[in-house]
Amino acid sequence: MLSKVGMWDFDIFLFDRLTNVMVQEDYHSQNPYHNAVHAADVTQAMHCYLKEPKLANFLTPLDIMLGLLAAAAHDVDHPGVNQPFLIKTKHHLASLYQNVSVLENHHWRSTIGMLRESRLLAHLPKEERQDIEQQLGSLILATDINRQNEFLIRLKTHLKNQDLKLEDAPDRHFMLQVLKPKGKSKIALKCADICNPCRLWEMSKQWSERVCEEFYRQGDMEQKFDLEISPLCNQQKDTIPSIQIGFMTYIVEPLFEEWANFTGNTPLSENMLNHLRRNKTKWRSLLHKQHSSSSSRSTDHSVQKTENEEQTLNEGGTL
């Protein structure tokens, strides 16, 4: 099965069932979505992106190592709740990182701790180790969904101006990471992190159900502690189809359309966009069925109520 790891339709769920070695101790298997299987899925997607000719022809071994390592570790020790939840519950991580990219900072610092404990980079000079740690940080911090517009605007500007020169290290790293002081932006890992809607429907649907289950669990906790339920976390109001359609429309589509422009509409980019459009159509169909079913129940309830009222009146009662 590993011979297919470079194919976009690689089934990470089947791989997990066959190997039973995906869940690592630094990811929490009780999380429906943010677990080691998600990390493996993002790493496999990153592997596919790094093979795109527009990038592959210029990447150095260090670029590749950083990309894959960041993908594997980008959500390490994820608590299964989002940043707003950590802030409003006054979690120690929110205080530690001053309410800014709380989870991403935690993932990065946890990754650095693992690297140092493993002594994987111990043979390198101190300056090189520190540089690698900072570059990993720039990759992982860029997965913060709140920075979506920031790097998307930068990517559009570069593509419009046609001023990317991937033979130059700064522009090559532009497609891998964000180093804010130097004005660079990371793209590849961000694409890998939110690529689920671009997978085959059977896999994409599983991911959608998993992430929404994690949202709903958070909403249940918020309700339990009398906190305002966060957006997308109310199981009674936020349906899976509506969440996915919004996510695809406002987050995924704009990013992957620009990625396709960058890569030159390669077979992989076209395949992802085709999956994305088909999946969006399926979610719209399911949403329509939900609305139709809801309207039908509402009509049945109204008819039953009217019949009961008429019966009460016929029996000489009052409303």
Residue 115 near residue 218, CB atoms below 8 Å: no
Residue 183: predicted pLDDT: 28
Our CA angle for 250, 251, 257, nearest 5°, is 95
Distance, in Å, from the CA atom of 88 to the CA atom of 219, rounded to the nearest integer, reads 13
Query: Is the predicted pLDDT of residue 306 greater than 50, yes or no?
Result: no
Report which of residues 245 and 7 the model is more confident about.
245
**Which pLDDT band, with edges at 50, 70 and 90, does 294 fall under?**
confident
- Tell me: the pLDDT tens digits for 95-131? 999 999 999 999 999 999 999 988 889 999 999 999 9
Active site residue 78: no
Residue 206: predicted pLDDT: 98
Query: Is the predicted pLDDT of residue 176 greater than 80, yes or no?
Result: no
Query: Is the predicted pLDDT of residue 319 greater than 50, yes or no?
Result: no
Give the burial class of 271: count Cβ atoms within 10 A of its Cβ; 0-12 exposed, 13-18 middle, 19 or more buried.
middle
Residue 18: predicted pLDDT: 54
Residue 50 near residue 188, CB atoms below 8 Å: yes
- Model's pTM, two decimal places? 0.86
Question: For the residues 54-58, what does the mean pLDDT come to?
Answer: 87
Residues 108, 112, 117, 119, CA torsion sign: positive
Query: Is the predicted pLDDT of residue 84 greater than 90, yes or no?
Result: yes
Residues with Cβ within 8 Å of 303's Cβ and at least 6 positions away in sequence, in order, are none
Residue 293: predicted pLDDT: 80
Question: For the residues 163-189, what does the mean pLDDT come to?
Answer: 62
**Which pLDDT band, with edges at 50, 70 and 90, does 2 fall under?**
low
Hey, where are the domains in the chain?
2-211
Highest mean pLDDT among 137-141, 182-186, 241-245: 241-245
Considering 28, 34, 92, 288, which one is annotated as catalytic?
A: 34
Domain 2-211 has CATH 1.10.3470.10: no
Query: Is the predicted pLDDT of residue 190 greater than 90, yes or no?
Result: yes
Average pLDDT for the chain: 86
**DSSP code per residue over 12-40:** HHHHHHHH-----TTS-TTSSSSSHHHHH
Task: Label residue 119 left, alpha or beta by phi (over 0 means left) and psi (-120 to 50 means alpha).
Answer: left
Instruction: Tell me the residue type at 217.
Output: R
Distance, in Å, from the CA atom of 164 to the CA atom of 176, rounded to the nearest integer, reads 13
- Measured in degrees and rounded to the nearest 5, phi and psi for residue 291 equal -65, -40
Give the burial class of 250: count Cβ atoms within 10 A of its Cβ; 0-12 exposed, 13-18 middle, 19 or more buried.
exposed
